[in-house]
Amino acid sequence: CEERDLSLTEFYSADEVFTSGTMGEMTPVYEIDGRKVEASTDLRLLPMIREKFHSKIPELAEKL
C-alpha cells in the first residue's frame, strides 16, 4: 500500500479507483472529469479490500 499524490493521467489510466473515508468506507469511482474509469464495471480489487477491511474491524475495534 502506498499513499501519494497522483496525476490526472494516472487516474485516467487506472484499473480501479475508489475513495475512502469514515462514513463512506470505500466507494468506487466510476467517472473522473466525465471520463469513465475503464474497469469500473468489473471491480476486482475493491471487493477483496472491503472483505479484508471488514474482517479486521472486530479485532481492531475498541470494546465498550
Q: How confident is the model at residue 25, as a pLDDT?
A: 83
What is the DSSP secondary-structure string of 19-57? Answer: EEETTTEEEE--EETTEEPGGGGS--HHHHHHHHHHHHH
Give the model's pLDDT for residue 17.
Answer: 87
The predicted structure's pLDDT at residue 5: 94
pLDDT digits (tens, 9 = 90+) for 5-46: 999 888 888 888 888 887 778 888 888 888 887 665 567 788
pLDDT given for residue 7 in this prediction: 92
What are the pLDDT digits (tens) for 48-57?
888 988 898 8
Length of the chain, in residues: 64
